[in-house]
Structure 1
C-alpha cells in the first residue's frame, strides 16, 4: 500500500510497470496495490477507472493513482479485472486535491473519491449464478429437491442466470433460499455482473433511404403506388415537410426524430411498413441531455462604480491569489462576474462559479444562460446521475469550459482552471456536514485554485468574518461596491415590537400591526411581498395545555415538528413520522395545541388575514421535486403569486422587480441560538433577505418583528454598519479564543449504548489531551442534540493554534489514536467523527 500524501504523483503509463495503486471508495487511509495483467498494460494510466475485486466478493470501481514496479510486501496483489475507459476520467491535479482534502479534513481518500465521482461513473452489481465447474450430481453428498434440479437443468442450457431469471424459471417470487441451498451443496457459484451506471441518452430517428433522395422519380413513383394508402402517404408528406431534402439533400443524413411522427398521432403500423419496405430507415444517435442554446454577444455595460471595482480586482490579482468582493445587495456583482468570466474564457482558461444551493442556482443560471448559452455546464444534486456524468464528460471533451454549480462541482475534472468565483461566500450551505469528507466548499475551492495556479474571487454583501479578517490582514485582496445598481435605492427598515402589540391586543396571528399595514399597502399597489421565517412546518411542536407534554422523536433527542398538511408530526433529523394524538398520552386531556410558528402556519395565517392574496410557500417540503424551485420562482416572477413565504432559500440571489416589502417574522429566533456565530448569521440573513426589496427604483420596506427591538444588532443592520459590527464581534472572539484566531476541530463519539459512548468519548478526550501542541480542549459533553437515529452523541471541541505545523501534527496524532481505538474490542462498534472547521 502507498499513501497519496506526497507532493509528487507518478504520471507514467502502465507499460513501464507491473503494479498499480488503486484508490477505492472505502474508508481506508491508503491505496491498494493490484497487479496489471499483461493484456491491460497498454490501456492503463493515472486517473483511469478500473474494476477490481476487494475482499472475497466485492467488485468495486477504483481510480489508478500510481503505476510502478514494486509488489506489495504485506499481501499478494490481485489482478485488475478490467479497464472501464479508453481515457482518464480523473486527472493528476484532482488526485492531489483529493489527497489534500483527506489530510486536511481528517478522512480517507476513498471517502473523498466516493463524494467526488458522480454515481453514474461508479458501478452497479447484479447478482448472477452459474454452474460450479467441479459439481457432479452423481457424487453429490446432498440430495437435490425438484426445484433445485429444474434450476440446474436450466443452467446447463444457459451459461449464467440472474436472480430474476431463476424466479421466472421456477415461477416463484423469492429465490434466495433455493440459491443459498445450492451454494451450500457447492452446485452453483454466485458472482457479481458488473454494469456501468451511466448510459448516454439515445434518440430514435427516421430518414429516407438513399435511393429515394438521389432519384426524385423513384419518390414520385412511390407516391403513386401508395396513393390508396393515406396513412403511409401522410407519414411521407410530414417527413418531407419537416426535412425538405430536395432543397438541401444533406438534411436527410440527420433525418427526423421518430417521436415527431408518433406524437403527431400518425399510424405506427404504417411507419413500420414503410421501414420494412425500405422506404424509410430507423437509426439511433447519442444526444446531449441539455438543450442547445445560443449565448449573447452583447457586451455587458458596467457602471462607474463597477468599473472601479473591476480595476481593483485585477490589480489585486497581480499580487494575491484570492480577492474578496464586498458588494451590498443589489450592487450588480453578477454583471462584474460575467465580465471577468468572459475575459478568462477568451484567454483560454476554464471557469468555475460556485453558488451555495439550488434555489440560488435556479435564478442565476437563467441569467448566465442568456450570456453563455449551452457552452455553460450546470452541476447540482437535483440533476440525474446521467446529467451529471454528461457535465463531467463535457469538461473532459472540451464542450464546457465554464461550469456553474453547488459545492460538489469542485470535484469536476478541470485541467486548466483560470478563475474560480464563490458567490455568497459567507453561506453556511457551503459546508458539508455528513457524510465525510466534511469540507467547506469555499476553503476547498481556494486550495483547488492554488493547485491550478488560478485566481479566486469571493463575493458577498455580508462576508464571513474569516474572509473579511483575511482581507484586513492583507492575506486577500479587497474590492467593494457600496452603491446599488442603476436607480435602485436601499430599502427603509422598520422595527416592530411584538410584545407591545401583544399588550395592546394588536398582534393578530403572529403579525404585528405594522407588518400587516405594509403588506396591505403592497397588495393595493399590486406589488409583491416576501415573508421570511427560518423554520419549516406548521409549528415547532405541539403541547398539552394541561400537563405540558411535548411529543419527542423515538430515535432522536428532539421534539417532533408539527406539519398540518397530512396531520402529522415529523422529525427533521431522522424522518420519523407520527400522527397527532387526539388526547394527551400523559394526562388524557384533549387540549393539544400547536406552539410556535413555522412557514406552513404563516401561509395559513396570511390566507386568513389577506383572503384576496395569492400565497405560495418555498421550503424543503414544497421544493423536493427536480423543478420545484423553478416552478415557484417562475410563478412569482410572472406575477402569479402576491406573497411568497419561505425559509432561508428566499434570502439570497432572488431579483424580482415588483418586490417592495420584506417581512422577517421572528428575528429573535435567529439571534438566540447556542452558537458563537449566531450574531454573524443573524446579521447576514436579515441583511440578505432585506436586499430583496426595492431593487428597481421603487422604494422597498423591510419589517423586522422582534420581542427586543432595542438590541444594537438591529440598528447596525438598519444602518448597514457591517464594519463596526465586525469589530465588536471580533473583540469577543479574540477574548474567548474563537475563529479566526484559532482553528476548531469537533470530535463526536456515537454509539447505541449511552455508557459505551460516554466511556469512549472520555478515553479519546484523555488521549487528545496528551498530544503536544498548543491547544484548548473542551468536553466531552453530551451533544446539543444528545441522540440522533438511536445513537447517543458526546462531543469534544479542540481549539488549536493556527500554525500549519500545529494543525498537521495534531491531525496526524489524532488519526493514529482513532485507528488504535477502533482496534480495541470495547470500541469497535463506536463511531468517531472528526469535523474540521465545524461551525
Structure 2
C-alpha cells in the first residue's frame, strides 16, 4: 500500500503522511482531499513512499484524488521548493499561493480541451458556395487553416451557427490543440538596435539573462514580440510578466493583434476565478502559447516554456508584501535558469541590483538608445525653480503658460502629482491640530467632493469635521495638494479645457480606467491629471507636455532606495511626452534645481546615475553589495512586538558572517490598529545568510504560539 506525503496549507514547514486505500492511483503533483483534525483540506502530493516515518496505525486515509487539473510537473515542484527554502515559507502555503483560487478547495473544476476548426477541403467548400454569400465565403477562406472559436465568431453575426452546421455536415472538423501555433502577423520594421537585441535573444542557447535597457519609446515591446515570435515558431511557450494590472489590457491587445492564431492566457487579479483557472489549465496542457500576467503568473505551469519576459523589471509591484513575500522578477530568473532558457528583463531605468548584475557579467546588457517611431525625439527636460516663487495652487506661472500653449495648438498635457485626494491633511491654524487616522500612524487625506477624510493605508473613513476637535475653531483648511485639488484648479484656470483626472479614486469602477484611456486616445481630453497609474506603459500620440508637481517629496525619504525610485518614476512619466512625431517637453517643478538627481535627469545619463548610486551603496554597505532579511512582528502594543523580537535575537544562531541589529519600531509603527516592530539581519554572503535563516526559523517555529504575529521578509524592499 503506497503512502502519500502531502503538502497542506498550514503554517508548518513539513509534509503529512496519508494512506491511499481508495480504488484509484495518485501521482506526484496531483491534488488530494485529506482529513486534517476536524477539517478537510486540499493538498498536493509531493512524495509517494512504501514505508512511512510514523506509526502506520495513526495514519489516516486520503479521501479523494482530484484529476481535474494536470499534475504539477517535477520542474514546477522544484520551483516551489526553491521558494519555500529561499523565502523561508512553508511548502504547503507556497503551493496554496501559487494555485488558482478554484483549485484551492475540493470543488472539481474541469476545463474542456481547446479546439481548432479547419475545413476538410477548403477549395471545394469555396467553389460550392454562392458568390453572394459574403460571410460564408469569408469563413471558408478563414478555415483554410485551423482557427479557434473566437476568431470564427468575430467573422460575423451568424458565423458560429454556420460553422456548427458545417461541422454536422462533415465539411469542417474540430481538432484538439496539441501545441500553440506559431504564426505571427507582420510588425513594423525594426531599427538596427532592436534587430541586434532580437538576434541576441533568439540565438542564445541555454540559460541567458538579458537586461534590455531602452529609453522610453525605444520599442522594447517590439523586441519582446519578435523574440516571442521566434519561440512560438519552434512550438514553445512564452511567459510575459508585467508589474500592474493596468498595463495588461493594452499589452494584451498588442499581443493578440500580432499573434491572431495563438491562445493567449491573461492572468491577473481582474480576471474572474473560473477564467483564471481555465487559462492556467490551458497553459499547463501546452495549449496556450503565451501567458501574460502580473507577479503571480510566474508560477503558471508551461511544459514547453522557451522564453520569459519581465517588463518594467525595476518595479516594486513585483515584490509581494504579505504571505509568501517573493519577488516575481527573482523567481522568474531562477525559473529560467532551472529550465535552461533565456529571460529578458526590460526597463528604461533598471533596478540597481540588475544593473550591478550586468556590470559584473551575470547579465548581458542590450541597449536601445533611439526612439522607435521615425522622427520621434526624446522630450526636452526643463527644471522650473519654485524656490521663493509665487505659485497658483502649487503650479508655477511658466507651467500654466506651457499648458495654455498646448491648448492653443490642440495638443494634450499631463500634470503629474503622485498624491491622490484633495489635500494630504486637514489642518487647524489656531491650535495646529491635524486629522490623523485612529488605526494607523498616518494622516487622513482630505476628499473634499465626498466630504470625507480617508486613510490611504487601512481604508478608514470619517466625515469632514465642522469644527476643530482640539479648540473648536471653525476655520479649518486643507493643507497641501492632491490630484482632486489640482483638477479643480486647472478646470477653473482653463474653463474651456476638458480636464480628466485618472487615479485610483476616479477608476474604482470596473472598466472605468479603460474608458478614460479611450477618451484620451479619442482626443476628448485636453489636460490629464494623474498619479503613477499614468507613468508607464501608456502611449498618447498627441500628448506633448508633461508637468511634474511635488517631485521634491521623494528627496526627503530616509529609505536608501528613494533616489532610485524617484529617478525611475520621473523617467517613466517624462516618457509619456512626444512619443510620436510631435516634439515633447517635460517641466519639472522643484525647489532644488541643483540637486544631483535632477542634474542626472537633465544629462539623460542613467549609467552615470547608477554608477554614483552604486558607489554610495558600496561605501555605506547597502544592497546589492550585501543581502538582507527583516523579521517583522506586530501586536496590540509595540512593547509586545519589540519584546518578541528581543527574544528572537536570543534564539538566533551564532554567526560571524551575519549581523543582527537591534529591534526598532517600523517606519509606520501603527497600521490597522496593530503596532509593528522589525529586526534587520544582513550579510555579505548570501549562502551564509540563507543557512543562518534556516536554523533561526526552526528555532522560532519551535516556540509556543503567542499573540504576536511575525513574518520573515527576505530581500526586503521596505525597511
TM-score, structure 2 normalization: 0.88
- In the alignment, what sits opposite 2:59? 77
Equivalences for residues 229-248 of structure 1 within 5 A:
242=158
Contact 1:313 1:477 (8 Å CA) reproduced = no
1:390 match = 278
The CA distance in 1 between the partners of 2:55 and 2:603, in whole Å, is: 66
Deviation, 1:78, is: 1.4
Return closer, same or farther for 1:247/1:777 CA change in 2, 3 Å cut-off: closer
Q: Does 1:784 align with 2:667?
A: yes
1:703 paired residue number? 587
Unaligned runs of 5+ in 2: 114-156
CA distance in 2, matches of 1:532, 1:246: 51
Deviation digits for residues 176-223 of structure 1 (CA, Å, limit 9, x no counterpart): xxxxxxxxxxxxxxxxxx54478889xxxxxxxxxxxxxxxxxxxxxx
**Counterpart for residue 678 of structure 1:** 562
> 1:72: how far off?
3.8
Query: Which of 272, 283, 303 is equivalent to 2:191?
Result: 303
Task: From the superposition, tell whether residues 246 and 665 of structure 1 become closer, same or farther in structure 2 (CA, over 3 Å).
Answer: closer
SS in 2 for 1:34: strand
1:19 aligned residue: 3
Query: Contact 1:325–1:457 at 8 Å: present in 2 too?
Result: yes
2:643 aligned to 742, 759, 762, which one? 759
Q: Which residue of 2 aligns with 1:46?
A: 28
2:566 corresponds to 1:584? no
Q: Give 1:567 shift.
A: 1.0
Quick check: 1:482 aligned with 2:369?
Answer: yes
Matched, 1:356 2:338: no
User: 1:491 is matched with which residue: 354, 376, 379?
Assistant: 379
In structure 1, the residue corresponding to 2:441 is in which secondary structure? Answer: coil
Alignment of 1:321-336 (within 5 A): 321-336=208-223
Structure 2 contact 68–111 (Cα < 8 Å) conserved = no
The separation in 2 between residues aligned to 1:516 and 1:67, in whole angstroms, is 70
Tell me the equivalent position of 1:771: 654
* Equivalent residue, structure 2, for 1:633: 517
C-alpha deviation, 1:702, in angstroms: 0.3
Counterpart pick for 2:73 among 91, 105, 109: 91
Q: 296, 302, 306: which one pairs with 1:414?
A: 302
Aligned to 2:145: none
Query: What pairs with 1:156-175 in structure 2 (closer than 5 Å)?
Result: none
Residues 38, 246 of structure 1: alpha-carbon distance in 2 compared, 3 angstrom cutoff? closer
Q: Does 1:515 align with 2:405?
A: no
Counterpart-to-counterpart distance in 1, 2:417 and 2:83:
35
**SS state at 1:450 partner:** helix
CA distance in 2, matches of 1:322, 1:807: 24
Q: What secondary structure, in the 3-state scheme, does the structure 2 residue paired with 1:47 have?
A: coil
Following superposition of structure 1 onto structure 2, how do residues 546-565 of structure 1 map, counting pairs within 5 Å?
A: 546-565=430-449
SS in 1 for 2:34: strand
- Secondary structure (helix, strand or coil) at the match of 2:662 reads strand
SS at match of 1:501: coil
1:45–1:293 CA distance, 2 compared to 1 (3 A): closer
1:52-105 superposed Cα distances (whole Å, 9 cap, x missing partner): 12111x122211111111224168221111122255342222211111111111
Structure-1 residue corresponding to 2:345? 458
Counterparts of 1:756 and 1:94 in 2: how far apart (Å)? 40
Q: State the match for 1:400 in structure 2.
A: 288
C-alpha deviations, 1:222-242, integer Å up to 9, x for none? Answer: xxxxxxxxxxxxxxxxxxx95
Pair 1:35-2:19 in alignment: yes
Inter-CA distance 320–83: structure 2 relative to 1 (3 Å threshold):
closer
Do the aligned residues in 2 keep the contact of 1:89 with 1:413 (CA within 8 Å)?
A: no
Q: Does 1:721 align with 2:605?
A: yes
- Which is greater in Rg? 1
Q: Distance between the aligned counterparts of 2:237 and 2:700, measured in 1?
A: 40
- The answer for the alignment partner of 1:231 in structure 2 is none
State TM-score, norm by structure 1: 0.76
The worse-fitting range, judged by mean Cα deviation, of 298-307 and 601-610 is 298-307
CA distance in 2, matches of 1:53, 1:835: 31
Count of aligned positions = 665
Question: Residues of 2 paired with 1:293 and 1:694: CA distance?
Answer: 37
Aligned to 1:834: 712
CA drift at 1:781? 0.9
CA drift at 1:295 = 7.5
Q: Out of 788-797 and 623-632, give the one that drifted further.
A: 623-632
The aligned counterpart of 2:37 is 55
SS of residue in 2 equivalent to 1:649: helix
1:106-132 Cα deviation digits (max 9, x unpaired): 211122112111112222xxxxxxxxx
Residues 324-346 of structure 1: per-residue CA shift (max 9 Å, x gap): 11111111111111110000111
Distance of 1:648 and 1:477 partners within structure 2: 29
- Tell me, in whole angstroms, the C-alpha distance in 2 between the residues paired with 1:712 and 1:246: 67
| C-alpha distance in structure 1 between counterparts of 2:62 and 2:162, whole Å | 55
Deviation at 1:495, TM superposition (A): 1.0
Contact 2:187 2:258 in 1 (8 A): no
Classify the secondary structure of the residue corresponding to 2:661.
Answer: strand
Distance in structure 2 (CA, Å) of the matches to 1:587 and 1:294 = 71
| Structure 2 Cα separation of the partners of residues 370 and 110 of structure 1 | 39
Which whole-Å CA distance do the structure 2 matches of 1:65 and 1:593 have between them? 61
- Pairing 1:137-156 to 2, within 5 Å after superposition: none
**Runs (5+) with no aligned partner, structure 1:** 1-16, 124-193, 202-240, 255-284
Partner Cα separation in structure 1 for residue 319 and residue 244 of structure 2: 11
Q: Does the 8 Å CA contact 1:771/1:813 hold for their aligned counterparts?
A: no
Q: Distance in 1 between matches of 2:27 and 2:680?
A: 42
**CA–CA distance in structure 2, aligned partners of residues 592 and 244 of structure 1:** 64
Whether contact under 8 Å (2:207, 2:340) holds in the other structure is no
SS in 2 for 1:493: strand
**Cα offset for 1:390?**
1.4
Moved more, 775-784 or 702-711: 775-784
Superimposed CA distance per residue, residues 781-833 of structure 1 (whole angstroms, 9 cap, x where no aligned partner): 111111112211111112212342x0221111221232133x1xxx6111111
C-alpha distance 730-68 of structure 1, shift in aligned 2 (>3 A): same
Deviation readout 1:742-770 (Å, 9 max, x if unpaired): 001111111113322221122223433x5
- Report the Cα distance in structure 1 between the residues aligned to 2:663 and 2:96, rounded to whole angstroms: 31
Q: Are the equivalent residues in 2 in contact too, given 1:758–1:794 (CA < 8 A)? A: yes
CA distance in 1, matches of 2:431, 2:537: 45
For 1:228, the equivalent position in structure 2 comes to none
Structure 2 equivalent of residue 65 of structure 1: 46
Equivalent residue in structure 1 for 2:408, among 502, 519, 524: 524
Contact 1:528 1:642 in 2 (8 A): yes
| Alignment check: 8 A CA contact 1:21 1:31 kept | yes
| 1:439 correspondence with 2:326 | yes
Partner of 1:250 in structure 2? Answer: 166
In the aligned structure 1, how far is the partner of 2:594 from the partner of 2:481? 23
- Classify the secondary structure of the residue corresponding to 1:551: coil
How far, CA to CA, are the matches of 2:564 and 2:59 in structure 1? Answer: 53
Cα distance in structure 2, aligned partners of 1:595 and 1:72: 65
Q: Distance in 2 between matches of 1:349 and 1:247?
A: 29
Q: 1:98-113 to 2 correspondence within 5 Å?
A: 98-113=80-95
Q: Is 389-398 or 80-89 further displaced after alignment?
A: 80-89
Question: Residue 351 of structure 1 aligns to a residue in which SS?
Answer: strand
- Aligned partners of 1:326 and 1:461 also within 8 Å: yes
In structure 2, do the counterparts of structure 1 residues 246 and 558 end up closer, same or farther at CA, with 3 Å as the change threshold? closer
Question: Does structure 2 conserve the Cα–Cα contact (< 8 Å) formed by 1:465 and 1:726?
Answer: yes
SS at match of 2:491: helix
Deviation at 1:404, TM superposition (A): 1.1
Which one of the candidate residues 681, 701, 718 is aligned to 1:819?
701
* 2:663 partner SS: strand
